[in-house]
Structure 1
Amino acid sequence: MTQTYLGIGTNIERDKHAHAAIIELQRLGANLQVSTIYRCPAAGFEGAEFYNFVIGIDTDLALPEFSRRLRALEVAYGRPENAAKKQDRTLDIDILLFGEETSQQSPQLPRCDIFKFNFVLQPLYELCPDLIVPCDGRSVRQIWQQEFKSIGGMSNLTATSLNLSDDYQ
């Protein structure tokens, strides 16, 4: 089993798509962990407010197959095949960490968003503060202590919970 951490984002029908991500990702592995869900403004473009959170999961799938299945989930929930960066999203699933794997190619591992966005680092810190980030050598806690304030701290993050109506269950 490979311990994996995924960044999840949605700003279209947020409750529905956040819930769908949790349900669907349970089918791809074991030991699912879900961080706090944070509301925050769109980063780098004018768009609706996002829900962002991190899911930890152990998977038996190899990275190429795992990545393919994540992409299929995004498409199944309405993300266009040719979606551009910095636009509204029904469901965005990014592999942040995949065991000890490192890569500069797609998917980039560890994903640089860990070091750039508070809405990625804060929920990752909640799930695995003592995990050593491959190629960096620091624990998530050390990265959080050294970088979190400079990337915004909690200034634009608001903890929230899913509003699950009968339509989403």
Structure 2
Amino acid sequence: MPTHKEQVYIGLGSNLGDSREHLRTALSELDSIESTRRLRTSSFYSSSPMGPQNQADFINAVCLLETTLPPHDLLAQLQGIENHHGRERKDERWGPRTLDLDILLYGNHTVATDDLTIPHYGLAEREFVLVPLFEIAPNMVMPDGKPLSNWVAKCSLDGLRRLRSSNQR
């Protein structure tokens, strides 16, 4: 087991069932992953769905983890949490889901395999990820060498709103 700790940003999203509760519970479950601890969590945000608009708005957040797990081992843990929440993997892209947990950034590492891409492939276009990420890491420099604030300034904030109560740390 590696002993080097990596800082990992996880995107959370849900638009089926009690989405706030799915996110709150998932955050607690992230705390129970071996060799991993949660350091910070953004507010919860409501966002319009990507893709098909005939679905409920999403509740999203981003959290910062510190872990010694390799990326694929962490992915397996995240998928286990998604499955525990009734996540069904369908061919439908951007469809409704009870819980979606994405590894956005894993330290300074790049991963490009069939089942995992880090940095997350859609990071630059997703205000529902960039805004909560900026909330917890305002001074972050992105993989392209530019400040996160530059990325946030370029994204549309239409349909995104911060929700009042959430589970923060």
Say whether the fold is shared (TM-score over 0.5). yes
**In the TM superposition, what is the alpha-carbon distance from 1:130 to its structure 2 partner?**
1.8
Letter in 2 for 1:143: W
**In the TM superposition, what is the alpha-carbon distance from 1:161 to its structure 2 partner?**
3.9
Change (3 A) 1:141 1:163: closer
Aligned to 1:16: 21
Aligned to 1:167: none
Q: Deviations over 1:67-103 (max 9, x none)?
A: 1110111011101244632211110001100011113
Q: Secondary structure at the match of 2:111?
A: coil
Change (3 A) 1:47 1:55: same
Please say if 1:140 is aligned against 2:148. yes
Give the distance between the partners of 1:41 and 1:116, measured in 2 at CA. Answer: 13
Asked if the contact 2:71–2:106 (Cα under 8 Å) also holds between the matched residues in 1, the reply is: yes
**In the TM superposition, what is the alpha-carbon distance from 1:159 to its structure 2 partner?**
1.2
Aligned to 2:87: 79
Q: Could you tell me which of 4, 10, 15 is aligned with 2:8?
A: 4
Q: Could you tell me which of 24, 34, 38 is aligned with 2:45?
A: 38
Asked if the contact 2:72–2:116 (Cα under 8 Å) also holds between the matched residues in 1, the reply is: no
Structure 2 gap ranges (5+): none
Q: How does 1:102-121 map to 2 (within 5 A)?
A: 102-105=110-113, 106-121=115-130
Please say if 1:159 is aligned against 2:166. no
Aligned residues: 158
Q: Secondary structure at the match of 1:86?
A: coil
Please say if 1:95 is aligned against 2:99. no
Give the distance between the partners of 1:32 and 1:84, measured in 2 at CA. Answer: 33
Q: Secondary structure at the match of 2:118?
A: coil
Give the distance between the partners of 1:76 and 1:9, measured in 2 at CA. Answer: 15
TM (norm. structure 2) is 0.85
**In the TM superposition, what is the alpha-carbon distance from 1:31 to its structure 2 partner?**
4.1
Give the distance between the partners of 1:58 and 1:70, measured in 2 at CA. Answer: 14
Give the distance between the partners of 1:32 and 1:130, measured in 2 at CA. Answer: 16
Q: Secondary structure at the match of 2:112?
A: coil
Give the distance between the partners of 2:30 and 2:23, measured in 1 at CA. Answer: 11
Q: Deviations over 1:123-147 (max 9, x none)?
A: 111111222223x1112123223x2
Please say if 1:122 is aligned against 2:131. yes
Change (3 A) 1:117 1:15: same
